[in-house]
Amino acid sequence: MENGTGTTPARDQGTSGGEPGRRALVIGAGIGGLTAAAGLADRGWHVTVLERSATLEPVGAAISLAPNGQRALDRVGVGDAVRDLAAWQGTGGLRAPDGRWLARTSSEEAGERYGDNLVLLHRATLIDLLRARLPEDAVRVDAAAEVVDPGAADDPRRPARVRTGTGELTADLVVAADGIGSATRRRLFPGHPGPQYAGFTTWRIMVPAPAEPFAPHETWGRGALWGSQPLHDGTVYAYAAAAVPEGGHAEDERAELLRRFGDWHHPVPALLAAAAPDGVLRHDVRHMRQPLPAYHRGRVALLGDAAHAMTPSLGQGGNQAIEDGVVLAHHLAPGTPPGPGLAAYSADRLPRTSAVVARAAKAGALTLLRPALAVRARDALVATASRLGPDLVLRSFAGITDWR
Ligand code: FAD
């Protein structure tokens, strides 16, 4: 038997050993997996991360992190680095396609209310910061992994077993952070329907900032939205969404964006003009409408999109994955049977993440409303809410949530 966290050396592994009771395997080196790995390593676990891709370059350009995600990152020692490298997004607001402001938000108010702000940074930067919290040999790439046996949490003779391309590994704890298409979720919860189409598709681009300045904004039309957010390095992250049937694909996605958004207010046309035709990412959005019954089985914990894929409508998927990783590490002391800690992790995270999934679905439906009358009513509601208290807007549509 090959060993990544266990006993005998393997030809492709960068690490081995770790005392029995302290060997953790993390499947997936995305945001959630690396956060969990950093948290577990801090607690004294011997961690090996298995990533199927050849590099850790993440898909998806940029990511916005809300105060809850930043506070969770503080626990693994990268919160301040993220704040330093990020662009602040709290000052901006919601607009209509003709440029009218429906609601304004302010950095000061967000800071006062939540202690932090919304920040935006390159996904690759976040991955690098988390990766740097781990020993050099802790992450193995080109290492697709599959849970063969989740093991028995309270029986030391039954560790979890994980198969890789080069053999089988055993571990005292497995963290399945293998994303929305999680094979581990299917293996452990075969009766669960998994993620389903949420009714809209998304596009993302990264382009140089246009000459004419603009404030960060999200703009809501009829069945379509656009967001433009500057990064600290002079680039702009822009995203769009439209309610369309599943599985659509345009030969030229930039032309498709121009057709849908080309006559929206500045900076939308300027950003589209700067986009490379092959530089547009398009993804249909799927989410898990039905929560899993638990986030663990045997010695395996599920986290992030593998456990609770949500629509990006609140920008909370990554933030919740980060919270998962930190809470999991909090509950799991090395050298003790992981059963009670895993149960506490599920009990902590299931209600919170299920509520965020449901809120994100509602926000998505509202932002992508199509009937003209309903859109007018929505826009009026948002404008009124903004006058009553910008905090309401931040809470409802910027994904800001309290977290201890
Ligand atoms: P992933 O990031 O998907 O990582 C999973 C990793 O597991 C990958 O590296 C994959 O290669 C690896 N893997 C899979 N299978 C295996 C295997 N068998 N063996 C080994 N490795 C494997 N969230 C935010 O917080 N803020 C935002 O602004 C935001 N914007 C978004 C915009 C869009 C358009 C979309 C679609 C999502 C957005 N999200 C946002 C959500 C966020 O991207 C995800 O919730 C987050 O990336 C989930 O992290 P994860 O670690 O669970 O999964």
7-23 residue pLDDT tens: 233 333 433 347 888 99
Helix (H, G, I), strand (E, B) or coil at 80: helix
Taking the CA of residue 29 as reference, the ligand 1 atom at the shortest distance is 9
Taking the CA of residue 306 as reference, the ligand 1 atom at the shortest distance is 52
- For atom 41 of ligand 1, the residue with the nearest CA is 317
Say what the pLDDT of residue 115 is.
75
pLDDT tens, residue by residue, 287-337: 999 999 999 999 999 999 999 999 999 999 999 999 999 999 999 999 999
Helix (H, G, I), strand (E, B) or coil at 300: strand
Is the beta carbon of 28 within 6 A of some atom in ligand 1?
yes
Return d(Cα 49, Cα 343) in angstroms, integer.
22
Return d(Cα 198, Cα 181) in angstroms, integer.
15
Torsion of CA 364, 365, 366, 371, to 10 degrees: 140
Name the least confident of 2-6, 24-28, 54-58, 359-363. Answer: 2-6
Return d(Cα 92, Cα 69) in angstroms, integer.
20
Q: 25: which strand partners? A: 48, 174
Angle between helix 31-42 and helix 123-131 axes, rounded to 10 deg: 20
- pTM comes to 0.93
Say what the pLDDT of residue 106 is.
76
**Strand runs (DSSP E) across 11-115, as ranges?**
23-27, 46-50, 62-65, 87-88, 92-95, 101-105
Handedness of CA 50, 53, 55, 58 (dihedral sign): negative
Instruction: Please check the confidence at residue 395 and state whether its pLDDT lies above 80.
Output: no
> Of the residues 139, 225, 305, 328, which should be mutated to test ligand 1's pocket, given the most ligand atoms within 8 Å of the CB?
305
Is the beta carbon of 50 within 6 A of some atom in ligand 1?
yes
Instruction: Please check the confidence at residue 197 and state whether its pLDDT lies above 50.
Output: yes
Give the mean pLDDT of the chain. Answer: 90
**CA 31 to centroid of ligand 1, rounded, Å:** 7
